[in-house]
Amino acid sequence: MTEAFLTQLLDAIPLAAVLIGRGERILASNAQARSLLGSAIVGRHFITAIRHPAVLDAVEGCLRDGNSRRTRHLSSESGRDLTYNVTASRIDLGVGEGVLLCYEDVTSLEQAGQMRRDFVANVSHELRTPLTALLGFIETLRGPARNDPAAQDRFLTIMEREAHRMERLVRDLLSLSRVEAEERVRPKDRVDLGGLATSVARALEPVAQESDVKIEVDLAGVDMKIPGDEDQLRQVMTNLIENGVKYGGPGKTVSVSISRAEVVPALRGPGIEITVADQGPGIELVHLPRLTERFYRVDSHRSREMGGTGLGLAIVKHIVNRHRGRLRIDSEPGAGSRFTISLPLD
């Protein structure tokens, strides 16, 4: 078996693969293995080429007793942690024994697992706080406040607020899972964005008035129909305008504008741009890339006080993705925030 033949064989394996042969030297490797371990590893003793202690132990064990071994190889590349599942298997090369090492990149699996665990921990934490409050008040109502109608009234008001908080959280979680499930299904209906913006602004008017915020809608007056899912686009506008009202502050204005652009750079073509801008305190640059992560909040206390679940922008991001659009957030402390959504015309 020539080195060229062995290299061809290893190149056909969809994993980084290294063959160790006579004299414990590396007989062949494929391109993925060379990018992982270095370009000039063929011909070298495996100890000088591999270096990673857990993998070295696996190769040595396999050479010693002929049994396959599994281990992990952790490394980092441009600041990103990478995880590989490594197998060392004994091979009969005809002219002696060898070991085939295969590295399977399981980084995305690991990350998905970590995200799932974080998500469950976050949801549990978000539910536990209002639940603990409810249980505490039930106990108080049954005990010390049994004959105190004024206290009962006060506690029931708090209990109602906490129950609403849980209801909003469950509603947003359900929305998120529905939106995620449909993310790959292209919307078919045509939606008039101008009409939708006007209707959302009208629906939010009472909330805005309560917070002493003005909502202004500026439509360019051109045809702004796009293929879309009306309920989901309503949710996008509602979440963004609601945030503008919540974080903008009293006495301020939330401006919604929709216009058509012949070239939207992010879409490489014509599109409709929906902008929701507020005159609030703005957001520091470091937070901007993370705002659409689930449960990410700049100020958790303030968000909870305003009835936020921390899921609004995550829902917006998924809906915009489903519409093959882009979300851009521009903000500066003291200069308000501006959320722009670009949606393709077809």
Interaction site with ligand ADP (CB under 6 A):
239, 243-244, 247, 278, 280, 283, 291, 296-299, 303, 308-314, 337
CA distance 306 to 143: 31
**Residue placing its CB nearer to ligand ADP in the complex, 10 or 217:** 217
- Coil, strand, or helix at residue 191? strand
Nearest distance in Å: CB 328, ligand ADP: 13
Opening angle at CA 228, ends 168 and 192, nearest 5: 100
Strands 214-219 and 253-264: parallel
With beta carbons less than 8 A apart as the criterion, state whether 6 and 19 touch: yes
With beta carbons less than 8 A apart as the criterion, state whether 35 and 26 touch: no
Nearest to 31 by CA among 23, 39, 43: 39
**Residue placing its CB nearer to ligand ADP in the complex, 275 or 309:** 309
Nearest distance in Å: CB 243, ligand ADP: 4
Nearest to 49 by CA among 38, 33, 64: 38
**Residue placing its CB nearer to ligand ADP in the complex, 99 or 245:** 245
Helix or strand holding residue 44 (H, E): none
CA distance 183 to 71: 36
Opening angle at CA 211, ends 210 and 215, nearest 5: 95
Nearest distance in Å: CB 61, ligand ADP: 50
Nearest distance in Å: CB 103, ligand ADP: 38
**Residue placing its CB nearer to ligand ADP in the complex, 134 or 291:** 291
| Both structure tokens of 243 | 């945030």
Nearest distance in Å: CB 98, ligand ADP: 55
**Residue placing its CB nearer to ligand ADP in the complex, 98 or 312:** 312
Helix or strand holding residue 105 (H, E): strand 97-105
Nearest distance in Å: CB 271, ligand ADP: 22
Nearest distance in Å: CB 159, ligand ADP: 21
**Residue placing its CB nearer to ligand ADP in the complex, 163 or 288:** 288
Query: What amino acid is encoded at 156 in this protein?
Result: L
**Residue placing its CB nearer to ligand ADP in the complex, 11 or 293:** 293
CA distance 240 to 226: 19
